[in-house]
Each structure stands twice: as C-alpha cells, then as structure tokens.
C-alpha cells in the first residue's frame, strides 16, 4: 500500500499542528493556539483506541470536526497523544467512512443502497423468524434424563463490542437476553 506525501498532507494541517503541540500547556505555545482555535466550538472526548483512556479536545465549526488535540487538563495524558490518538481527526473526516445503509442480496456480487427503514424492518423480520424457528423452550439433560426449561434462541449469535459505550453495551446485553440469545460474545474472549 503506497500513499503519496502530498495526499498525506492534504486536509489535515490543523490536526497535524495539534500533534506538534502535544504535551505542552496551550497558553505557553508560540503558535498562539488561542488564536488558532478562536471561534471554534470545543468539546472533550476520550480516545477510542487503547484502554489508557487519554483525553482529547475536539474543535468543531459548522458541524464539522476541524481539529483534535490532546487535552492538557486530563490527568492521565496531560495533553500528549500517541500516533493513533493523534489520528482521531481522520476518523471524523474520512471519505472511506460508511455513508449509507448497504444491502447485499443472497448470491449477489454487489451491495445496493437501502433506507434505514427498509433494512431495519427486514432485519427485525429475520431476527423474529430465526428466533421463532430455533427457540428451544425445554431440553432433556442427558446426564439425569430430566427436562429443563431453557428458553433459548439457538440459531442466533451476537458479537461485539469493546468499542461500544457502556450505555450501548448495557442495551446490547439487555436486548440479547430478552431475545433468548445466550450466544453473546465479544473481544474479551479473544
């Protein structure tokens, strides 16, 4: 995989400057960052990569992320970032990000664009069909030959996700168990 330096430099000058500032208190910097970020909206976030939990500041303008940099007030990273954390800007600004719901029909060799409504209705129907078809109300245990109520959906598995927020994880497990899915697993098993 090759990429030209020219392309590398395009579209990221502000964020690249953020990398250079890492680890220094903003006020002391000769780049006059107050001016650099003047008029921009500012929110804090936590890095989505490893589990150190470094803080970042996200600067936005007109609904677009225009800069990300290490949060100098954050006690763990005190403004510094590693290469991945420094590249957060390119997650928010990236032409390869998925834009639309895509669907691939059985046997097809391509994706086609679909609406959320269509896809979610279809997914809900498939989930219900699989659940209804593979739901196991009871089973006989071979060791004691007794019948036990297990209320389990055998034909569905759910994977993920160590990249979800806690509140999302909670709804994920709540949804899974309500569907009778015992086969719920994620990265912590790997």
- CB nearer to another protein: give 23 or 30: 23
104-110-113-118 Cα dihedral, nearest 10 degrees: -20
- The H-or-E segment that residue 138 falls in is strand 135-140
Which residue number, 32 or 50, has a Cβ lying nearer to another protein?
Answer: 50
The phi and psi torsions of 127 (rounded to 5 degrees) equal -60, -45
| Cβ proximity to another protein, 38 vs 64, nearer residue | 64
Of 27 and 166, nearer to another protein (C-beta) is 166
Q: How far is CA 13 from the centre of its chain?
A: 25
Q: What is the nearest approach in angstroms of another protein to the Cβ of residue 145?
A: 13
Shortest distance, CB of residue 37 to another protein, whole angstroms?
A: 13
d(CA 71, CA 85): 11
Backbone angles phi, psi at 182, to 5 degrees: -90, -25
Count CB atoms within 10 A of the CB of residue 33: 20
Shortest distance in whole angstroms from residue 183 CB to another protein: 5
**What is the smallest separation between the CB atom of 29 and another protein, expressed in angstroms?**
19
Q: Are 60 and 50 in contact (CB under 8 A)?
A: no
- DSSP class of residue 28 equals G
The minimum distance between CB 21 and another protein, in angstroms, equals 15
């Amino acid at each position: 995989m090759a990429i030209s330096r020219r392309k590398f430099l395009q579209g990221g000058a502000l964020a690249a400057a953020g990398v250079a500032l890492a680890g220094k208190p903003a006020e002391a910097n000769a780049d006059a960052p107050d001016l650099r970020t003047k008029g921009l909206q500012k929110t804090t976030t936590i890095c989505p990569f490893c589990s150190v939990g470094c803080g970042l500041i996200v600067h936005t303008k007109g609904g677009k992320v225009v800069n990300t940099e290490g949060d100098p007030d954050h006690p763990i990273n005190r403004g510094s970032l590693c290469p991945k954390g420094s590249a957060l800007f390119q997650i928010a600004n990236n032409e390869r990000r998925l834009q639309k719901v895509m669907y691939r029909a059985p046997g097809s060799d391509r994706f086609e664009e679909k609406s959320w409504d269509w896809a979610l209705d279809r997914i809900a129907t498939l989930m219900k069909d699989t659940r209804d078809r593979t739901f196991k109300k009871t089973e006989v245990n071979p060791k004691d030959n007794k019948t036990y109520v297990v209320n389990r959906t055998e034909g569905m598995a759910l994977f993920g996700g160590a990249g979800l927020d806690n509140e999302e994880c909670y709804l994920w497990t709540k949804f899974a168990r309500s569907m009778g899915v015992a086969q719920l697993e994620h990265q912590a098993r790997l």
